[in-house]
Structure 1
Amino acid sequence: MFTRLFYFGLVAVSTLHAALANEPPGELPILSLPYGRWRAAKYDRAADVYTFRNIRYAVPPTGPLRWTKPVRPKIPEIDIQDGSYDPPCIPGPQPEGFEDPSYEKQRKSASEDCLFLDIYVPGKALRENGSDKLPVIAWIYGGGYTIGSKDQAIEQGIYDGTRLVQHAAGNAIVVTFNYRLSVFGWLAGTTMENEGLPNAGLHDQRAALEWIKDYIHLVGGDRRKVSAWGESAGGGSILSHLIMHEGKTDPLFRRAVALSPGLSFPVDRKGMVEDQFRDYLSKAGCTGKGVACLRAASISKLIQASHNGVGQVGPTPDGRLLKHVFSVEMARGKYWKHLDSLVVSHVFDEGGPFIRSNDTLTSLHSLVQSLFPAYAAEAVSTLADHYNLNKPSYESVKTIGSKLVRDAIFACNIRAIVQGYPQRSYLMQYSPRAATHGADVAAVWYSPALYNVTIPLFAGYQSYLLSHAITNDPNSLRDQALTPPTIAWPRVAGTDKEKLRNVLNVGDTGYQLIADEQVLKSSCDIWQQVLLDATRQGGYL
């Protein structure tokens, strides 16, 4: 088996470089894999970047393969693929308050056959056969684990890696990929544990990272220098990879950029999570029939059921891949210890967009109550007291609710991860125009050609991240010739204090180092303790 794969690798390299060396006008290089050949979809001459589009990394997860581990293709495709087949994964309902104009396009074109990846390769990586291999950036998109794709806003340059490769002076490769969403990627509970596969979306992400490990050398990439980047659900996914199998499994990346890492905390997989699964089973017309019925059901019925109040989805403890929720595993020290370094960030206002105009202290109290099993009433009481949900406060409901959501879903994940890697973490706050959740994505994927104007702040921001991916240090290659100028960014300090220090604030007027007023030890200690207590009370610890 190993000999066969090595043979195919040699064929792929020679084919690719031969195609480039003798490239006739209009001819694009071909990537040869053991299971097919993909011609580059385009070449950007100004950027000197080749784009390989929609390379299949797993067979369609349909029928009996629904809710199973992704399977690497084995039978070679006869024809050369041009990358034009590109359905996104099937989304769930659009999250309230986060209406995305690309959602309808995704919904209409989506398919279960969606496990594809794109590669953005600098021309020099293909021309310089045998030269040093390049660092790789693997992007995991956000969308609440229920919407999104590698192509969701590619026409606007979002998730198009061309500019990143160009800004890196051709010294990095970018890979983007799809993963299963909503009920197709994240159904969990004890029935799914016994009959299917919880966290299928996380397994898809792992399969894409395995593809990078096995094949990225064919386009000049170094599998030992992979950086995982992700925002929101993508950032939360990165944290989840670090606690796989209680931190014993190599996540297949050495560096990470986790922007607004979003994770919920389904501590009661045998109760609340299983109830959610059975509710979906009923809505899909499969009451009492289990996963086999779902696999046999029509796709239209499964989609309709997913839009009928399926509840929160995302990485969920299953007793195997993920033993406990993220905060609990970090408290137990059960995480991968061997990252080179990581960048973590939050925006100025993470929680505000999640609070409705008609929310009251009573509705916020009900929200907290809905997140915990009945046996964890003390957790609800502790949190209600901490956020003043039981009595009038000088703060507005909007302010209280924003803090509650910020801490629960984002800030305390950040606190836990930087405490886990205190000597290897860089922390950032993104705050131009009091930025709300998701605003930093535009800076990550910034391209002057798309904006028709140069935005130095975005260019500087991007240079920090690229420097980190290439050198393991956000400072060594940061762009220092900009106005406003970038500044030296030290590793985070004060991980045992109320406020984290050496935090890079990216604001309207430029960059400065601050003490973080949002990722607070007092609040995150409470969250970690109530989650530990609820996990113990449920008999999971």
Structure 2
Amino acid sequence: MHFNALFVVVFAAVSNAVVLDSAKVIGTSTGRITKYLGIPYAKPPTGDRRLRLPEPNNPYFGVLDATVYGPACPQHGPKLGFPIPAAVGSDVLDLFVNTTTKYIAEGDEDCLTINVEVPSEATSSSRFPVLVWIYGGGFAAGNTRMYNGGPIVERSIDLGEPVVYVSMNYRVNAFGFLSSKEIRDAKVGNLGLHDQREALRWVQKYIASFGGDPQKVTIWGESGGAMSVSLHMLTNGGDTNGLFHGAFMQSGAPMPVGDHSVGQKAYDTIVTGAGCTGAPDTLSCLRKVSYGAFKAAVAHTPHTFSYQSLILPYLPRVDGVFLTDHPQQLVKNGSVADVPFVSGGCDDEGTMFALSTLNVTTSKEFKEYIKTLWLPKASRYHLNRIMKLYPDDVEQGSPYDTGSLNALSPQFKRFASFKGDAMLQGPRRYFLQQRAGKQNTWSYNTKRLKWLPFLGSFHLSDLLYTYSGGELQDYLIHFVNSLDPNRGDAAQWPKYTPSSPNLLTFKDDLAGRPTLTKDTFRSKAIELLTQLLLENPV
């Protein structure tokens, strides 16, 4: 926050200002959009607040300059864990880099800020529905600066359904998702989710001042952001505390993750790297070391594009507070918020993550990888079933429906199929199957970009159709306004029900309307994989 008595005089009559507590918040207006950026929503998680629950701000006062984004939270990276093969090609490489490594940014521990983008006509009495964006990045990276909510707000105005767009920075990697016995005992697990929850409380307290309706809040995310959205639906016994009223998830659902013990190795690595080995209280020591020392220690732990790929050290895990049980077990037990939701994704969710295992080239090595990292407790029978259901046949692998093409390595398409189903398609289907008929649900699948070598309809690609325009953006805006994606002359999107598991399917024929298909692809494979991971979460 920048407080300056001169601002009070200069900005006293500025129209793009709102009052929060005793403060005047100054934003910027361009055309039909006004943006308020970089507003702190919690006290800086620095010094002794590192690795602690977020603390709400003291009341605002003076003048707050909200004209620039706040810094990203500390990121995990920045290098990919593998070389990009020359066969991928420059065009594909450019798209890959632009949609993955752009998550990496220079960060700062003092990062808990929130942004609000509104129609310029908004007033404190407008009561426009609110769309709260939670970015993805594998719980290791991501920031709000990457996402411009302006086109969504512009389109909502054109549709006669104006919305208020909100996004927040939250702690990621070890700063936000460290897990270990020490973390669980101190009740400071899943800090990034607690940050998001604190931001949602901020929305309830302040969004009306910007023209938003706190009674019409939809939370929306992609990848790790979508998984976060789903976990907000599961925490607190499914009680939302009135923080949101609908959920929209792109490529992410309650995932098969286990308890804190999986993260112990990363915690111990950081303790050693930060020079805290032998300290009587290692957690207290990690709070006292310098930011540089802590961040350098984190850099020696695996990330999304390391060899183990999706078996990440910084996933949300059972902590006894935010998550009292494995997420999919909570779904099974019915600990789910009773709000309408959309959960969809991309046809080739796993291709991006299969790039990290190009050195695994034989069926024997594939089986060993699955047994070691994914299903160490699985029986020989079940492992052999997985091998048959995810066969050593490039024509059945992902990118799907591309025949013998895109076999970047002998096991690439097989890995892409397995990984995409294990962490993304399977959890999405399980969530929908458990909740369809109990609350209003919709699902989609995008098969666009099938022409893209090796990646196909890759994870993240559906964001092109929400942030950059198109039918999915319109469906999103309709949902925020009415908790139903249908409206106007758009192709009708039937609910996902037990008797009719409908998928609104987007194909490369951009001139054609989306079509309806059934969510039954790879049914036996996904059913077995879901069962095994429910019993043995990673």
Q: Which TM class, normalised by the smaller chain length?
A: 0.7 to 0.9
Aligned partners of 1:60 and 1:382: how far apart in 2?
Answer: 48
Q: Pick closer, same or farther for the CA change 1:531–1:461 going to 2, 3 Å.
A: closer
Aligned partners of 1:102 and 1:520: how far apart in 2?
Answer: 27
Aligned partners of 1:217 and 1:39: how far apart in 2?
Answer: 16
Q: In the alignment, what sits opposite 1:3?
A: none
Q: In the alignment, what sits opposite 1:492?
A: 496
Q: Which of 443, 459, 477 in structure 2 is aligned with 1:437?
A: 459
Q: In the alignment, what sits opposite 1:282?
A: 272
Superposed CA deviations along residues 76-97 of structure 1, whole A, max 9, x for unmatched, are 4444324336211110024547
Q: Pick closer, same or farther for the CA change 1:310–1:262 going to 2, 3 Å.
A: farther
Aligned partners of 1:264 and 1:416: how far apart in 2?
Answer: 10
Aligned partners of 1:517 and 1:488: how far apart in 2?
Answer: 17
- RMSD, aligned CA: 3.0
Alignment check: 8 A CA contact 2:69 2:145 kept: no
Aligned partners of 2:15 and 2:425: how far apart in 1?
Answer: 45
Q: Which of 102, 105, 108 in structure 2 is aligned with 1:107?
A: 105
1:414 aligns with 2:428: yes
Q: What SS does the aligned partner of 2:285 have?
A: helix
- Of 85-94 and 402-411, more deviation after overlay is shown by 85-94
Alignment check: 8 A CA contact 2:125 2:208 kept: no
Q: Which of 529, 532, 535 in structure 2 is aligned with 1:533?
A: 535
Alignment check: 8 A CA contact 2:23 2:62 kept: yes
Q: Pick closer, same or farther for the CA change 1:320–1:364 going to 2, 3 Å.
A: farther
Aligned partners of 2:73 and 2:286: how far apart in 1?
Answer: 17
Aligned partners of 2:246 and 2:41: how far apart in 1?
Answer: 22
Q: Which of 143, 146, 149 in structure 1 is aligned with 2:143?
A: 149
Q: In the alignment, what sits opposite 2:329?
A: 328
Q: In the alignment, what sits opposite 2:442?
A: 426
Superposed CA deviations along residues 130-166 of structure 1, whole A, max 9, x for unmatched, are 45x11100001111111110002x5xx4776543444
Q: In the alignment, what sits opposite 2:401?
A: none
Q: In the alignment, what sits opposite 1:515?
A: 517
Alignment check: 8 A CA contact 2:249 2:344 kept: yes
Alignment check: 8 A CA contact 2:255 2:427 kept: no
Aligned partners of 1:105 and 1:354: how far apart in 2?
Answer: 15
Deviation at 1:439, TM superposition (A): 1.0
Number of aligned pairs? 477
Q: In the alignment, what sits opposite 2:506?
A: 506
Q: Pick closer, same or farther for the CA change 1:68–1:211 going to 2, 3 Å.
A: same
Q: Pick closer, same or farther for the CA change 1:381–1:185 going to 2, 3 Å.
A: farther
Which one scores higher on RCO, CA 8 angstroms, separation ≥ 6? Answer: 2
Alignment check: 8 A CA contact 2:73 2:170 kept: yes
Aligned partners of 2:320 and 2:278: how far apart in 1?
Answer: 23
1:121 aligns with 2:121: no
Deviation at 1:389, TM superposition (A): 8.8
Q: What SS does the aligned partner of 2:215 have?
A: strand
Aligned partners of 1:144 and 1:111: how far apart in 2?
Answer: 18
- Of 509-518 and 424-433, more deviation after overlay is shown by 509-518
Aligned partners of 1:261 and 1:436: how far apart in 2?
Answer: 13
Q: In the alignment, what sits opposite 1:16?
A: none
Q: Pick closer, same or farther for the CA change 1:351–1:203 going to 2, 3 Å.
A: same
Q: What SS does the aligned partner of 1:461 have?
A: helix
1:366-515 superposed matches below 5 A: 366-372=368-374, 376-378=377-379, 382-388=382-388, 393=393, 395=396, 397-423=411-437, 424-434=440-450, 435-446=457-468, 458-477=469-488, 480=489, 486-493=490-497, 495=498, 501-509=501-509, 510-515=512-517
Q: In the alignment, what sits opposite 2:406?
A: none
Aligned partners of 1:158 and 1:122: how far apart in 2?
Answer: 11
Q: In the alignment, what sits opposite 2:262?
A: 272
Q: In the alignment, what sits opposite 2:30?
A: 44
1:193 aligns with 2:184: yes
Q: In the alignment, what sits opposite 2:289?
A: 297
1:203-242 superposed matches below 5 A: 203-242=194-233
Q: What SS does the aligned partner of 2:385 have?
A: helix
Q: In the alignment, what sits opposite 2:87?
A: none
TM-score, with structure 2 as normaliser? 0.81
Q: What SS does the aligned partner of 1:50 have?
A: strand
Q: What SS does the aligned partner of 2:320 have?
A: coil
Q: Pick closer, same or farther for the CA change 1:417–1:293 going to 2, 3 Å.
A: same
Q: Pick closer, same or farther for the CA change 1:533–1:437 going to 2, 3 Å.
A: closer
1:347-366 superposed matches below 5 A: 347-356=346-355, 357-360=358-361, 361-366=363-368
Alignment check: 8 A CA contact 1:444 1:461 kept: yes
Alignment check: 8 A CA contact 1:266 1:273 kept: no
- Of 162-171 and 72-81, more deviation after overlay is shown by 162-171
Q: What SS does the aligned partner of 1:73 have?
A: coil
Deviation at 1:362, TM superposition (A): 3.8
1:411 partner letter: Q
Deviation at 1:343, TM superposition (A): 1.5
Aligned partners of 1:105 and 1:514: how far apart in 2?
Answer: 33
Q: In the alignment, what sits opposite 1:140?
A: 134
Q: Pick closer, same or farther for the CA change 1:170–1:490 going to 2, 3 Å.
A: closer
Alignment check: 8 A CA contact 1:415 1:519 kept: no
Q: Pick closer, same or farther for the CA change 1:123–1:529 going to 2, 3 Å.
A: same
Q: Pick closer, same or farther for the CA change 1:229–1:384 going to 2, 3 Å.
A: farther
Q: In the alignment, what sits opposite 1:5?
A: none
Q: What SS does the aligned partner of 2:470 have?
A: helix
Alignment check: 8 A CA contact 1:37 1:80 kept: yes
Deviation at 1:238, TM superposition (A): 0.7
Q: Pick closer, same or farther for the CA change 1:382–1:61 going to 2, 3 Å.
A: same
Q: Pick closer, same or farther for the CA change 1:473–1:249 going to 2, 3 Å.
A: closer
Aligned partners of 1:57 and 1:209: how far apart in 2?
Answer: 10
Q: Pick closer, same or farther for the CA change 1:136–1:365 going to 2, 3 Å.
A: same
Q: Which of 69, 74, 81 in structure 1 is aligned with 2:65?
A: 81
Alignment check: 8 A CA contact 2:149 2:467 kept: yes
Deviation at 1:332, TM superposition (A): 2.3
Q: Pick closer, same or farther for the CA change 1:282–1:468 going to 2, 3 Å.
A: same
Q: Which of 277, 282, 298 in structure 2 is aligned with 1:306?
A: 298
Deviation at 1:112, TM superposition (A): 0.5
TM-score, with structure 1 as normaliser? 0.80
Q: 5+ residue gaps in structure 1?
A: 1-18, 447-457, 481-485
1:145 partner letter: F
1:163 partner letter: E
Q: Pick closer, same or farther for the CA change 1:250–1:130 going to 2, 3 Å.
A: closer
Alignment check: 8 A CA contact 2:386 2:529 kept: no
2:105 partner letter: R
Alignment check: 8 A CA contact 1:228 1:238 kept: yes
Q: 5+ residue gaps in structure 2?
A: 1-8, 85-95, 304-311, 397-409, 451-456
Aligned partners of 1:283 and 1:159: how far apart in 2?
Answer: 42
Aligned partners of 1:37 and 1:371: how far apart in 2?
Answer: 53
Q: Pick closer, same or farther for the CA change 1:113–1:36 going to 2, 3 Å.
A: farther
Q: Pick closer, same or farther for the CA change 1:464–1:207 going to 2, 3 Å.
A: same
1:316 aligns with 2:311: no
